[in-house]
Amino acid sequence: MQDVVEKVYEQVVARNRGEAEFHQAVREVLESLGPVIAKHPHYAENALLERIVEPERQIMFRVPWVDDAGEVHVNRGFRIEFNSALGPYKGGLRFHPSVNAGIIKFLGFEQIFKNALTGQGIGGGKGGSDFDPHGKSDAEVMRFCQSFMTELSRHIGPSVDVPAGDIGVGGREIGYLFGQYKRLRNSYDAGVLTGKGLAWGGSLVRTEATGYGTVLFAQSMLATKGDSLEGKTVAVSGAGNVAIYAIEKAQQLGAKPITFSDSSGYVVDEAGVDLELLKQVKEVERGRVADYVSRRPGARLVTEGRPWDVPVDVALPCATQNELDADNAATLLRNGCAVVAEGANMPSTPEAIEAFQAAGILYAPGKASNAGGVATSALEMEQNAGRTRWDFATAEAKLTGIMADIHDSCVEAAETYGRPGDYVLGANAAGFTRVADVMIAHGIV
């Protein structure tokens, strides 16, 4: 069966040249599926591997817009509608200079399995642009979003493809995107985008969901060892939505997060992160982590290295892909880190994952541990369909239940395929089989 897997991987590399992140994501999944294919050879007979690595649809388009000085700019827009076996395509939009077809493809591929794990009837997709909203005025961001949505609106809909936010796309951007969609389609399709404002179809807990879910997953892993987050020190990377609310939930569960970061460096706050100050700096002022340090006695800014240099019990990478490499993993392990739960998408390199698994620590891949965001997006779609809104406690309880189910599905799959405690195999096997069985039921389409 390994020959089958390797052949498919070689085809992916040949067909998608130069897309290193996509290659990495595919290899990570395929390498886990050997035991699944061996036990269920009909998946190989029906070419499920070849089919699942090929997007159903890839869209790339020009996005022209005008800045405040009247200068014209041109960016690229992308939407990869990867797999709709379980439901409408679902996945975020990322606005960041690093965005290209390979990045969006890797994110969309990961989204297939992540969404399948939630059990909510949503397919996998992803999109975005190489536009950088940082430093732009509200008017410039609005004009870009309107141009972007003018093309994207042709390809999305509540039962077709439902984008959400991601890096660089928060409530402001979702608002501008939805306004243009409504204008173009002459229809108030609240379920076409998630991450909306509460006054116009958004869901409570959506803002917190990815960070909360990551920490809840870490807590579930610790529970299998009769342990908890109570009293644990935590390193968090990033200072965006995911990182902030991972810090919040970790504090609620009795842990002490002591780091966060952005592109300028990372902050170490041995007394424990002042969450309200961090929210003020990042969510209100859109400032840098240095602004936190300037107002927080005892905190220090480190401009060399990464948060993983700080000795902690738990690591939560919540920034971006491949931010935690083999050297970082070795440092974490040497310093006694016993839990790694990914809040970002594919933040650990293959070598880092190998080190974590060889050491036998609790390690959760992002497709499982950061699924809380898309899970709550699906809950937002459910509320939109019923023209209702749940209170915070109801939405959080549903999120907590979903994350517990994802954890248990990963544990069960790992045991089924002979590798108890292997959350990578468990997540990939559970997600793959759910999608593959439905693809077979739908025929060769």
Q: What is the pLDDT of residue 129?
A: 98
Asked whether residue 112 carries a pLDDT value surpassing 70, the answer given is yes
Mean pLDDT, range 261-284, rounded to an integer: 96
Q: What is the pLDDT of residue 385?
A: 95
Model pLDDT for residues 119-147, shown as the tens digit of each residue: 999 999 999 999 999 999 999 999 999 99
Query: Where would I find the H helices in 273-371?
Result: 275-279, 289-294, 326-334, 350-359, 366-369
Mean pLDDT, range 392-409, rounded to an integer: 98
Spatial separation of the C-alpha atoms in residues 137 and 143, rounded to whole Å: 10
Asked whether residue 338 carries a pLDDT value surpassing 80, the answer given is yes
3-state helix, strand, coil in the chain (%, to 5): 50, 15, 35
Query: Where would I find the H helices in 202-260?
Result: 209-223, 241-252
Mean pLDDT, range 304-324, rounded to an integer: 97
Buried b (16+ CB within 10 A) or exposed e, 270-302: eeebbeeebeebbbeeebbbebbbeebeebebb
Token pair recorded at residue 280: 């003020």
Question: Parallel, antiparallel, or unpaired for β 123-129 and 89-95?
Answer: parallel
List the beta bridge partners of residue 166. Answer: 169
User: Which among 76, 67, 196 has a CA at the least distance from the CA of 135?
Assistant: 67
Are the CB atoms for 400 and 7 separated by under 8 Å?
A: no
Residue 225 falls in the annotated catalytic set: no
pLDDT band at 3 (very low <50, low <70, confident <90, very high): confident
Model pLDDT for residues 217-234, shown as the tens digit of each residue: 999 999 999 999 999 999
Longest CA pairwise span in the chain (Å): 63
Q: What is the pLDDT of residue 188?
A: 96
**90 among annotated binding-site residues:** yes
Spatial separation of the C-alpha atoms in residues 402 and 205, rounded to whole Å: 13
Buried b (16+ CB within 10 A) or exposed e, 118-143: bbbebbbbbbbbbbebeebeeebbbb
Query: Which residue in this structure is represented by tokens 């958004």?
Result: 202
Note the Cα 116 to chain centre separation in Å: 14
Mean pLDDT, range 256-273, rounded to an integer: 97
Spatial separation of the C-alpha atoms in residues 46 and 259, rounded to whole Å: 47
The mean pLDDT value of the chain amounts to 97
Mean pLDDT, range 60-86, rounded to an integer: 98
Model pLDDT for residues 147-186, shown as the tens digit of each residue: 999 999 999 999 999 999 999 999 999 999 999 999 999 9
Spatial separation of the C-alpha atoms in residues 213 and 225, rounded to whole Å: 19
Give every CB contact of residue 361 below 8 A, 6+ residues apart in sequence.
Answer: 333, 337, 338, 339, 340
Asked whether residue 1 carries a pLDDT value surpassing 60, the answer given is no
Spatial separation of the C-alpha atoms in residues 170 and 175, rounded to whole Å: 9
List the beta bridge partners of residue 318. Answer: none
pLDDT band at 286 (very low <50, low <70, confident <90, very high): confident
**111 among annotated binding-site residues:** yes
Question: Parallel, antiparallel, or unpaired for β 72-83 and 57-66?
Answer: antiparallel
Q: What is the pLDDT of residue 296?
A: 97
**210 among annotated binding-site residues:** yes
126, 182, 256, 398: the catalytic one is: 126
Compute CA distances 92 → 131, 149, 205, 213, whole Å.
15, 14, 17, 17
**165 among annotated binding-site residues:** yes
Asked whether residue 356 carries a pLDDT value surpassing 80, the answer given is yes
Question: Parallel, antiparallel, or unpaired for β 89-95 and 314-316?
Answer: unpaired
Q: What is the pLDDT of residue 4?
A: 85
Spatial separation of the C-alpha atoms in residues 49 and 110, rounded to whole Å: 14
* Domains recognised in the chain with CATH numbers: 56-187 (3.40.50.10860), 209-369 (3.40.50.720)
Give every CB contact of residue 226 below 8 A, 6+ residues apart in sequence.
Answer: none
